[in-house]
Amino acid sequence: MEDPNIDDGDQNRETEIAPALIAVHPAHQSVAVAVGSDLRVFNLQEGCAVTLGDGDDLDGKSSTNVHKDSIRAIRYGANNGTLFVSAGDDKLVKIWATTTWRCISTVVSEKKVSAVAIRSDGLFVCFADKFGVVYVVDTQGISGEQGSTNEKGIPILSHYCSIITSLEFSPDSRFIISADRDFKIRVSVFPKNPLDGAHEIQSFCLGHTEFVSCLAFVFGQDYPQGLLISGSGDSTVRLWDFTCGALLDTCAVGTEAGYLETDGKEGECRPAVTDLCATKDGSLVAVALQSLPGIMLLSCDISARTLSVLKVVSISEDPFIPTSLGSGSLKQFLWMVMGVSSLQGSDLASLARVRVLSGFSKSNIATLEEHKASLLDDKDIPGRELVLQKLQGTLSIEKEVLSSAAEAVKTAMRNLLIKKHYPVEKREYRKRGRNDRKNKQR
């Protein structure tokens, strides 16, 4: 007999899927895709797949399967890209040296990891868990030759049991910004000695009416410290002066894309913003939106402090709905991936489809307005078939599989980030089953 206190979501936690992620080296030297527990990296300079060296491999062999559970966050260091971080549901944070692609440190988290950030100088790595705690790791003592294992992060701030969805350092590294599923964006002063904790709150950016899904910065000569952009489950992208928490502009991207706020069905939600990616000068922002086959491009006028829709780049030949976006600062390519860690009814253990948009820069805004053929064919992307074979795992994916993947990602995001309301009896039952409660009783 089934326990009435357990719903379908509780029973299926072991098979919880994760969206595919993509990250691009700031100098466009390499591109990485994470799908499920796989980390796949391609060297764009040399035109070949990267062999990962994990210090945890007892037999000395290399594999893309460097995590034991779904990867939830990947990130290159912002300035020179010498560090790369991957983390996820296996409660491990792996720090990689991109010169050798060896794992130089493995940090153990108490909870599943939901977001990571690297300070611009590479001296500190921060990560957040699903209980709302942000930790810091000092990388200055990490050797690039021999990997260290079982390291621990130092907790520096907390969102108090709210899943942290995104984590970013400000461009000048003075602040660390954390967003959560309770609609909040917290701006904390990153102290000179972060191992003592980040206790000073600079501001809160409040205004979203659903979970905050992603953050990005735009900055220019007039605003070297940058302005903050956020995406949300409320189908909006918002522009903030994060130093004082002031909302500067709101772009209703869901409405602009032609989607109604809701179709009237109970439990149905507006299409969430899943990712944001800005050009180096901040004048152009790419937006990935659930249910949108393609991406939306926003024009950001930093001086006027406004956002406006430039155009929607449709991808109509197949149902490609990006789950993650990435771009290097030295090339005019926007890399996009769509995929999931597992898909029922498919022969593929994991699914990833990669597409590339050219002309992603300020100088080409007029070109993007005039021409629709800005999406590159597979044969024209950097690395061509070799990069697709490595990052996707296969060269061809059926349209029906892509459609199923899009629905699976949408459902998983809603289940993870939209709070469920349980009766008192079920809440008590769930508390008794929590792993942290069990560990305290031992």
The rounded distance, in Å, linking the Cα atoms of 218 and 36 is 30
pLDDT at 82: 92
Q: What is the DSSP letter of 53?
A: B
Phi, then psi, of 141 in degrees rounded to 5: -95, 5
For residue 196, the tally of other CB atoms under 10 A from its CB is 10
Q: How far is it, in rounded angstroms, from Cα 246 to Cα 202? A: 12
Which alpha helices (DSSP H) does 323-392 contain, by range? 365-370, 384-392
Greater confidence, 21 or 1?
A: 21
Dihedral sign (CA 272, 310, 324, 154): negative
Lowest mean pLDDT among 106-115, 157-166, 167-176, 430-439: 430-439
Handedness of CA 417, 422, 426, 431 (dihedral sign): positive
Question: CB neighbours (10 Å) of residue 138?
Answer: 15
Q: b vs e for 306-324, b when ≥16 Cβ sit within 10 Å of the residue's Cβ?
A: ebebbbbbebeeebbbbbb
How many other C-beta atoms lie within 10 A of the C-beta of residue 326? 23
Query: Which of these, 360, 274, 275, 281, lies nearest to 313 by C-alpha position?
Result: 360
Q: Is the model's pLDDT at 307 over the cut of 80?
A: yes
Residues 403-409: what's their mean pLDDT? 75
Which percentage of the chain shows pLDDT scores above 90?
54
Report pLDDT for 373. 43
Percent of the chain past pLDDT 70, that is, above it, reads 79
Least confident piece of the model among 59-68, 249-258, 406-415, 423-432: 423-432
Quick one: average pLDDT of 390-410? 78
pLDDT value, residue 195: 83
Task: Tell me what the mean pLDDT of segment 190-198 comes to.
Answer: 87
Local confidence band at 80 (pLDDT 50, 70, 90 cut-offs): confident
352 close to 391: Cβ distance less than 8 angstroms: yes
Enter the tokens of residue 347.
Answer: 């022969």
Q: pLDDT tens digits, residue range 198-244? A: 889 999 999 999 999 999 999 877 777 889 999 999 999 999 999 99
Q: Which of 337, 251, 248, 260 is nearest to 297 (CA)?
A: 251
The continuous run of DSSP H or E covering 430 comes out as helix 424-432
Instruction: Please state the pTM of the whole predicted model.
Output: 0.86
Long-range contacts of 302-305 (CB under 8 A, 24+ apart): 302/218, 302/219, 302/220, 302/222, 302/223, 302/227, 303/220, 303/222, 305/227, 305/239, 305/241, 305/248, 305/249
Residue 288 in contact with residue 273, Cβ under 8 Å? Answer: yes
SS3 36: coil
pLDDT level of residue 423 (50, 70, 90 thresholds): low
pLDDT per position as a tens digit, 46-78:
999 999 986 544 334 445 678 999 999 999 997
